[in-house]
Chains A and B, each alone.
Chain A
Amino acid sequence: MNYDFKKFFLNNSLLFVFFFICLVGTFTSEYFFTLTNLQNMVRNMAVPGLLALGVSFVFLVSRIDLSVGSLTIFGPILAVSSLAFFGDIFDFKVLVRGNQYANSAAFIVIVSLITGLIVGLLNGIGVMYGKITSFIMTLAMMKALWGLNYVLTHGHAYYLQIPTYTWMGTLNLFYIPFSTWVYIILTIVAAWIMKFTIVGRRIYSIGGDEKTARLAGINVTFWVILAFMMSSFCAAVAGILFSSRLQTVDAPLAVGFELTAIAFAVVGGVSLTGGRGSPYRAFLGTIVMGALFSLFSMWGLNTWHRNIVVGIIIILVVMLDQRKNKLGRL
Chain B
Amino acid sequence: MDFLQMNNISKSFPGVKALDDVSFEIKSGEVHSLIGQNGAGKSTLMGILNGITKPDEGEILINDLVVKIDDPKDAFNLNLSIVHQEFALCNNLSVAENIFLGNEPFNKYGYIDKKKIKNDAMKMLNSINVNLDIDEIVGNLNTSQWQIIEICKALAKSPKFIVMDEPTASLDESQIDNLFEIIKSLKNNGIGIIYISHKLNEIIKISDRITVLKDGKIKKTFGKENITEGLLIETMVGENIENKNSNNLEDIKEPILKLNKLSHLNSFKNISFDLHKGEILGLSGLLGSGSNEILRSLFGIIELQTGEIILQDKLIDINNPRDAIENGIGYIPSDRKNEGLIQDNSIKDNSILTIFKKLTNLGFFNAIEARETTENYIEKLSIKISNINDFVMNLSGGNQQKVVIAKWLAKECKILLFDEPTRGIDVAAKAQIWSLILEYTKNGGAVIVASNEIPELIGNCHRIITLQRGKINRVFDNKNFDEKEISLNISSN
Q: Do A and B touch each other in the complex, judged by CB within 8 A?
A: yes
Listed in ascending order, the chain A residues whose CB lies under 8 Å from chain B are 196-199, 201, 204-205, 207-209, 211-213, 215-218, 275-276, 328-330
A217 cross-chain contacts in B, Cβ below 8 A: 73, 76, 102-103
Q: Which single member of B91, B93, B112 contacts A196 (CB below 8 Å)?
A: B112
B301 contacts the other chain (Cβ, under 8 Å)? yes
Scan B69-110; emit 1 where CB is below 8 A from any A CB, else 0.
000110010000000000011111100010001111010011
B103 cross-chain contacts in A, Cβ below 8 A: 216-217
B13 contacts the other chain (Cβ, under 8 Å)? no
**B93 touching A205 by the CB < 8 A rule?**
yes
**A208 touching B91 by the CB < 8 A rule?**
yes
* 8 cross-chain pairs, A with B, having the tightest CB-CB distances, nearest first: A208-B90, A216-B102, A275-B92, A208-B92, A212-B88, A197-B110, A216-B101, A198-B110
**B93 touching A208 by the CB < 8 A rule?**
yes
Q: Please judge, given known A-B contacts A197-B112, A201-B112, whether A275 and B90 are in contact too, CB under 8 Å.
A: yes
Q: Please judge, given known A-B contacts A204-B92, A211-B88, whether A329 and B111 are in contact too, CB under 8 Å.
A: no
Q: How far is the CB of A229 from chain B (nearest CB, A)?
A: 15
The winner among A199, A212, A329 for most chain B CB atoms within 10 A is A212
Q: Return the chain A residue nearest B156 by Cβ.
A: A216
Complexed CA–CA distance, A218 and B100 (Å): 12
Q: How far is the CB of A280 from chain B (nearest CB, A)?
A: 15
The winner among B92, B110, B320 for most chain A CB atoms within 10 A is B92
Complexed CA–CA distance, A209 and B153 (Å): 15
Q: How far is the CB of B219 from chain A (nearest CB, A)?
A: 33
Q: Which single member of A199, A212, A329 contacts B90 (CB below 8 Å)?
A: A212
B114 cross-chain contacts in A, Cβ below 8 A: 196
B395 contacts the other chain (Cβ, under 8 Å)? no
A205 cross-chain contacts in B, Cβ below 8 A: 90, 93, 97, 101-102
A/B interface sample: 25 pairs, CB < 8 A: A196-B114, A197-B109, A198-B106, A198-B111, A201-B93, A201-B112, A204-B92, A205-B102, A207-B92, A208-B91, A209-B88, A209-B89, A209-B91, A212-B88, A212-B90, A215-B72, A216-B103, A216-B153, A217-B73, A217-B103, A218-B101, A275-B91, A275-B92, A328-B302, A330-B301
B303 contacts the other chain (Cβ, under 8 Å)? yes
Complexed CA–CA distance, A275 and B90 (Å): 9
**A199 touching B110 by the CB < 8 A rule?**
yes
**A215 touching B93 by the CB < 8 A rule?**
no
B73 cross-chain contacts in A, Cβ below 8 A: 217
Interfacial residues of chain B within 111-168, with CB under 8 A of chain A in the complex: 111-112, 114, 153
Q: Please judge, given known A-B contacts A204-B92, A212-B88, A329-B320, whether A198 and B104 are in contact too, CB under 8 Å.
A: yes
Interfacial residues of chain B within 275-305, with CB under 8 A of chain A in the complex: 301-303
Q: Which single member of B92, B97, B320 contacts A276 (CB below 8 Å)?
A: B92
**A212 touching B112 by the CB < 8 A rule?**
no
Scan B250-283; emit 1 where CB is below 8 A from any A CB, else 0.
0000000000000000000000000000000000
Complexed CA–CA distance, A209 and B102 (Å): 13
**A197 touching B320 by the CB < 8 A rule?**
no
Complexed CA–CA distance, A328 and B102 (Å): 30
Q: How far is the CB of A273 from chain B (nearest CB, A)?
A: 10
Q: Return the chain B residue nearest A210 by Cβ.
A: B90
**A329 touching B101 by the CB < 8 A rule?**
no
Q: Please judge, given known A-B contacts A212-B89, A275-B92, A276-B92, whether A198 and B112 are in contact too, CB under 8 Å.
A: yes
B92 cross-chain contacts in A, Cβ below 8 A: 204, 207-208, 275-276
B88 cross-chain contacts in A, Cβ below 8 A: 209, 211-212, 215-216
Q: How far is the CB of A278 from chain B (nearest CB, A)?
A: 11
Q: A198-B112, A204-B90, A215-B72 are in contact. List 17 more A-B contacts (CB 8 A).
A: A196-B112, A201-B93, A204-B92, A204-B97, A205-B97, A207-B92, A208-B90, A208-B92, A212-B89, A212-B101, A213-B101, A213-B102, A216-B102, A217-B76, A328-B302, A329-B301, A329-B303
Complexed CA–CA distance, A246 and B154 (Å): 56
B89 cross-chain contacts in A, Cβ below 8 A: 208-209, 212
Q: Return the chain A residue nearest B88 by Cβ.
A: A212
Complexed CA–CA distance, A275 and B97 (Å): 13
A215 cross-chain contacts in B, Cβ below 8 A: 72, 88
Q: How far is the CB of A24 from chain B (nearest CB, A)?
A: 34
Complexed CA–CA distance, A65 and B76 (Å): 36
Complexed CA–CA distance, A330 and B90 (Å): 22
Q: How far is the CB of A197 from chain B (nearest CB, A)?
A: 4
A213 cross-chain contacts in B, Cβ below 8 A: 90, 101-102
B301 cross-chain contacts in A, Cβ below 8 A: 329-330
A329 cross-chain contacts in B, Cβ below 8 A: 301-303, 320
Q: How far is the CB of B434 from chain A (nearest CB, A)?
A: 29
Complexed CA–CA distance, A196 and B110 (Å): 8
Complexed CA–CA distance, A2 and B432 (Å): 67
**A218 touching B102 by the CB < 8 A rule?**
yes
Q: Return the chain B residue nearest A212 by Cβ.
A: B88
The winner among A196, A201, A217, A328 for most chain B CB atoms within 10 A is A201
Complexed CA–CA distance, A329 and B264 (Å): 14
Complexed CA–CA distance, A196 and B90 (Å): 18
Q: How far is the CB of B98 from chain A (nearest CB, A)?
A: 8
Q: How far is the CB of A59 from chain B (nearest CB, A)?
A: 12
Q: How far is the CB of B139 from chain A (nearest CB, A)?
A: 9
Q: How far is the CB of A120 from chain B (nearest CB, A)?
A: 19
A208 cross-chain contacts in B, Cβ below 8 A: 89-93
Complexed CA–CA distance, A215 and B90 (Å): 11
The winner among A204, A211, A216 for most chain B CB atoms within 10 A is A216
A328 cross-chain contacts in B, Cβ below 8 A: 302
Complexed CA–CA distance, A276 and B139 (Å): 12
A212 cross-chain contacts in B, Cβ below 8 A: 88-90, 101
The winner among B102, B103, B109, B302 for most chain A CB atoms within 10 A is B102
**B111 touching A196 by the CB < 8 A rule?**
yes
Complexed CA–CA distance, A213 and B90 (Å): 8
A201 cross-chain contacts in B, Cβ below 8 A: 93, 97, 104, 112
Q: How far is the CB of A190 from chain B (nearest CB, A)?
A: 14
Complexed CA–CA distance, A328 and B72 (Å): 32
